[in-house]
Every structure is written in C-alpha cells, then in structure tokens.
Amino acid sequence: MIPDGPLVFVDIDTQRDFLEPDGALYIPGSEAILANLSRLTEFARSRGIPVLATACAHTSEDEELRIDRPHCLLGTPGQGRVAATAWPGTRVLQADETLTGDLPLHLTLHKHQYDLFSHPDADRLIALYDRDHPTFVVYGVATDYCVKAAVTGLLDRDCRVALVLDAIRAIDAAAEPEILTEFARRGILLTLTEVVCAG
C-alpha cells in the first residue's frame, strides 16, 4: 500500500531513444514496461497528480556522450517521450533554466547529465514538491543509472520514496538486485503499478 497523502510522480527519462527498439540507446526488453507507464500516466492525468518528468537533452558537447553512445540529442525524435508518457502541453524547463511561478501539473526537466540533480534548479524544485510531504512515486529508465541517481538524491533529501518495480528497467539486469536491496535498506517502498493505481 502507498501511504495516505499526496503523491508526486517522477517519470525518469522515458524517452524513445531508450524504450523503442530502433532508439539510439535502446534498453533491451524495455517495451515490457510500456503498458504500465501508460497506466501510471493515465492515473496521474485522471487524478490531477503532479508529474516531474526528466529527460536527457544532449548536445554534441555533453561529457556524458563521451562515455555513452550519442542519445537523446535535442531536436531529434529520439529525445521525445514515448507515447505512453507523453503529456501534451507539458512545461519544458531547459537544462540551464530556472522555473518562474508555480509548479505546473506536468513539468519536463531537460538535463545534460544522467542525474536529475545535475539540473541547477532541481534542489529548489524538489523542495517545492516536498512542501506537503508527498510520496515521490518513481518509475522509468534506467534503474542502474538515472533512476538510481534520482532515488538516491531524493533519499539524501529526506523525501519519502516509492519505486514502481514493474515500471522500471535496468541496462544491466544483473545489477538490479543489489540496487533494490540498498534502496530497501534505506527505507523506500517497493511497489507495483496496480498497487499505485488502486489508490
């Protein structure tokens, strides 16, 4: 069960380059989570749950691309969200931009590095979301990189975190048990799409 109280959904990098078989940095088997991503997104839309959606938005100079294959280059179709998590009218915050005004219902946070907290406004934004002490419900890809960085960063800021096990995917599946064990040790809630959407 998700604890009673407000929720914030954190949709990590559910972009075409990661989730579609012809994507630039396709994560094998990741299409298996698409139906759950879609269900979570519909649930958020129908309940008015705020969504913070992160997105790699690289330029050819980004340091990350010296390690990983080029992916999610700004202006390419692969940088876009998959249909399952797309949100028409989302407020896109560029990688060097500060949000002015209130938090929108759906915020797309562009970033040059895999860690969402590499965005200069991320700390402040998370503090704003955390004002009502919600549960941050995290899903997306990849468990062993961007998801791990997001969950770790939220825990470091004393946020309450739930991770949706059937809506995440690792690049290296063998790395997953150790990561999940460490998260559980730090007190996050491991949950499933149908449990979240039953709330």
Tell me phi and psi for residue 61, to 5 degrees.
Answer: -85, -10
| Angle formed at CA 124 by CA 37 and CA 9, multiple of 5 degrees | 15
Q: Under the criterion CB under 5 A, does residue 164 sit at the interface with Zn ion?
A: no
The stretch near Zn ion (CB under 5 A) out of 54-62, 152-160, 179-187, 188-196 is: 54-62
Q: Under the criterion CB under 5 A, does residue 147 sit at the interface with Zn ion?
A: no
Q: Is the Cβ of residue 63 or residue 158 nearer to Zn ion in the bound state?
A: 63
Q: Under the criterion CB under 5 A, does residue 56 sit at the interface with Zn ion?
A: yes
Q: Under the criterion CB under 5 A, does residue 95 sit at the interface with Zn ion?
A: no
Q: Under the criterion CB under 5 A, does residue 146 sit at the interface with Zn ion?
A: no
Q: Under the criterion CB under 5 A, does residue 73 sit at the interface with Zn ion?
A: no
Tell me phi and psi for residue 5, to 5 degrees.
Answer: 120, 180
The residue with its CB nearest to Zn ion is: 56
- Coarse DSSP helix, strand, coil percentages of the chain, rounded to the nearest 5 percent: 35, 25, 40
Tell me the residue type at 193: T
Q: Is the Cβ of residue 13 or residue 176 nearer to Zn ion in the bound state?
A: 13
Residues that bind Zn ion (CB under 5 A): 56
